[in-house]
Amino acid sequence: MKKRSSRAVSAQILLQVLDEGKSLSSLIPEASVQLDSQDLPLVQEITFGVCRVLPRLERIIQQFLEKPLKGKTRLVHCLLLVGLYQLLYMRVPTHAAVDEVVNATKSLKLEHFRGLTNGVLRRFLREQEAILAIVDKHWQTLHPEWFVNKLKQAYPHWREIIEANNQRPPMWLRINPQRTERADYAGLLGERAKYPENSTACIPPCALLLAKPLPVSQLPHFEQGWATVQDAHAQWSALLLGAENGESVLDACAAPGGKTTHILELAPQAEVIALDIEENRLKRVTENLHRLGQQAKVICGDATQPETWLPEGVMFDKILLDAPCSATGVIRRHPDIKWLRQATDIAELVALQGKILHALWQRLKPNGVLLYATCSVLPEENSEQITRFLQAMPDALAGEMDFCGEKVSQKQFFPSAEGGDGFFYAKLVKRANEETR
């Protein structure tokens, strides 16, 4: 197959994100077959970067065009986004950035827009200072208005959340205690590691921050299961669940398997079921289990209907429900979420979360623990969801969790520069039968 221009592929990916509602996480792997291997990181940088600062780039384009590019010309608009992002945020030489984008019009069969593309980018270079003075006159959230309004209503520090979302995400590792110690693994990484003991933040005991992101191929003994890429705040899931050897454990909505493998690192003899509704995503769970030398029963099924994949009467000691959510806590990691998620999605997600929560609760043993988790920062999906559940279920109690000495039944994490992503946790304990009589 003839390989394609990285700028052309980037523009096509952006068009599918912005106009068709597809995610970068699905589009990037699909596009990789069209690219030379060395071009894939460039496409990732451009597409993720454009999504991160999209409103700013859109405002720049508005300064040059009397009418917006619509319909079939939307691909030209996306090509301009690619060019402007390179000029503003990347170290690509100016002439190369412009020439490569202009040349991409040919492979996209947009040659009659070659002059417009060239003209806009070169005019921006000539008038950059004046244009940016207009565009950047007021502070930009770089987020959709509906989401900003929700943050304003919920949190006095909403600006800090916005600013954190606009940064590049840090890369965290979870060190496998079955293989090595965190201090020893940090020693293998040398200056590439930022050792957490230097931080005052409450960090999970096996979490290790890298000085800058690295390909997993450069991580010592990665294929032998010594480390897993997992956000620091996500690492609390298995720790708070507290599964023990011999217990039956359900990891609901398990893909891609980071939490499943962590449960088994802490309790290697636990009987774990990893459940997810998407069969293609379960392949990642199986791959991660194989890399770490672990065993779990992997099931494709609907968490709202346990009876379709679980025999009658089968109950669990522990259930981890990492519920489907708005993913508003991981925007810095997946900036396309800002433009894919709509305000109307939230009520539907809240209803689905509640349905799953009630369905799985029926499969939890008396005195069992259900840990509810989301990567959202919206109260509707988090604290309000748990309040409604506790009011509706007489056999549900708020359990206690320990975060570095802080005893709480719920915990909302927010993204921070060298910290974890936005996550929410709530521990629920099921009363024994005699207690409900």
Query: Looking at the annotation, which residues are catalytic?
Result: 375
Whole-number Å distance between alpha carbons of 303 and 293: 26
Q: Which is nearest to 416 in space by CA: 381, 374, 377, 378? A: 377
How many CB atoms within 10 Å of residue 241?
26
**CA–CA separation, 34 and 376 (whole Å):** 34
Q: Is 428 helix (H, G, I), strand (E, B) or coil?
A: strand
DSSP labels for 354-389? HHHHHHHHTTEEEEEEEEEEES---GGGTHHHHHHH
Q: What residue has token string 């003839």?
A: 2
* Tokens, residue 88: 């503003």
C-alpha distances out from residue 145 to 18, 118, 151, 264, 268, Å? 16, 32, 10, 42, 46
Sequence-distant (6+) residues with CB within 8 A of 351 are none
DSSP states of 80-146 = HHHHHHHHHH--S-HHHHHHHHHHHHHHTT-GGGHHHHHHHHHHHHHHHHHHHHHHTSS----S-HH
Residue 256: cis peptide before it, omega within 30 degrees of 0: yes
> Token pair of 78, please?
């996306």
Contact (Cβ atoms closer than 8 angstroms) between residue 107 and residue 7:
no
3-state SS class at 437: coil
Q: 94-107 and 114-135 are packed helices; what angle lies between their axes, rounded to 10 degrees?
A: 130
Which residue, 179, 182, 142, is CA-closest to 58?
Answer: 142
With the C-alpha atoms ordered 245, 261, 235, 283, is the resulting torsion angle positive or negative?
Answer: negative
- In sequence order, the 6+-apart residues with CB closer than 8 A to the CB of 376 are 325, 326, 327, 328, 329, 382, 422, 424
Give first-to-last CA distance, the chain, whole Å.
Answer: 69
